[in-house]
């Protein structure tokens, strides 16, 4: 897939004449931070301690869902237990502790360069995550200075997490532009589905074990192997007048 082809496809299904990106909607886990390894470890520990069999891959597949929804889903399918909101929140607190105990996660290499390059072109970034993980959300302004300011949508702001488009629709609202004027930067299939369903030009970067093919299948307009490749493609994506 070339940028030109991806843009031509997008213009056709979005029913617009040209791509004019004015805002970037940016996911957190797997895009800002290399955090999915530790998240999946913490999830498996929580589930195992509660007698629920699972693999780490399952949590990569559920990445983007609001944490308490992951707990409700796994307890229901894995143990036939219906969990209340309060119980799910308490268990999410335990998962958060396991996550923190695994140590500080590194940033994803090159993401800051992409976000700075967007900013230099007058494109503001909005954080859009289903995460409620305070230990990460509090680090964002330190690791990504001047990028998001108060433009943040987290798991606390949405009723329905990804793959529902609600988080991205809220992000579009914070950006104050049209859906078709936003580029979504994602790494996970459910996040890609959400960005696509919200009507944005959706880019995915394979920063974990999820394949390029799966991300295209989820609805990505373009998939890149790393942030350096996305950075190199920005002129083609942003200056396209098809």
Q: Is 30 in the site for Mg ion (CB under 5 A)?
A: yes
Q: What is d(CA 163, CA 70) in angstroms, rounded to the nearest whole number?
A: 12
Q: What is d(CA 11, CA 45) in angstroms, rounded to the nearest whole number?
A: 44
Size of the site for Mg ion (CB under 5 A): 5
For Mg ion, the nearest residue by Cβ is 30
State which of residues 7, 188, 203, 237 lies at the interface with Mg ion (CB under 5 A): 188
Minimum CB distance to Mg ion, residue 207 (Å)? 8
Of the two residues 61 and 89, which places its CB atom closer to Mg ion in the complex?
Answer: 61
**Part of the chain binding Mg ion (CB under 5 A), chosen from 96-104, 109-117, 146-154, 187-195:** 187-195
120: three-class secondary structure by DSSP: helix
Q: What is d(CA 137, CA 127) in angstroms, rounded to the nearest whole number?
A: 10
State which of residues 6, 10, 27, 75 lies at the interface with Mg ion (CB under 5 A): 27
Minimum CB distance to Mg ion, residue 142 (Å)? 20
Q: Dihedral of CA 6/30/143/88: which sign?
A: positive
* 142: CB partners within 8 A, 6+ apart: none
Q: What is d(CA 116, CA 98) in angstroms, rounded to the nearest whole number?
A: 32
State which of residues 3, 29, 58, 181 lies at the interface with Mg ion (CB under 5 A): 29
Binding site for Mg ion (CB under 5 A): 27, 29-30, 187-188
């Amino acid at each position: 897939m070339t940028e030109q082809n991806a843009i031509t496809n997008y213009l056709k299904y979005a029913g617009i004449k040209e791509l004019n990106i004015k805002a970037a909607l940016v996911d957190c886990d797997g895009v800002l931070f290399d955090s999915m390894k530790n998240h999946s470890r913490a999830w498996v520990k929580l589930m195992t301690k509660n007698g629920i069999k699972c693999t780490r891959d399952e949590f990569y597949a559920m990445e983007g869902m609001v944490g308490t929804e992951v707990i409700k889903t796994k307890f229901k399918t894995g143990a036939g237990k219906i969990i209340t909101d309060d119980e799910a929140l308490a268990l999410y607190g335990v998962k958060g502790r396991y996550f923190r105990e695994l140590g500080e996660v590194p940033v994803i290499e090159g993401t800051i360069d992409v976000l700075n390059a967007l900013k230099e072109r007058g494109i503001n970034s909005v954080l859009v995550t289903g995460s409620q993980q305070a230990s990460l959300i509090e680090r964002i302004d330190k690791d990504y200075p001047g990028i998001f300011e108060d433009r943040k949508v987290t798991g606390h702001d949405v009723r329905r997490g990804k793959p529902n488009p609600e988080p991205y629709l809220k992000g579009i609202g914070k950006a104050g532009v049209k859906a078709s004027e936003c580029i979504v930067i994602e790494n996970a299939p459910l996040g890609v589905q959400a960005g696509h369903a919200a009507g944005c030009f959706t880019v995915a970067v394979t920063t974990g074990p999820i394949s390029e093919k799966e991300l295209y299948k989820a609805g990505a307009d373009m998939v890149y192997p790393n942030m350096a490749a996305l950075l190199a493609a920005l002129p083609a994506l942003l200056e396209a007048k098809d």
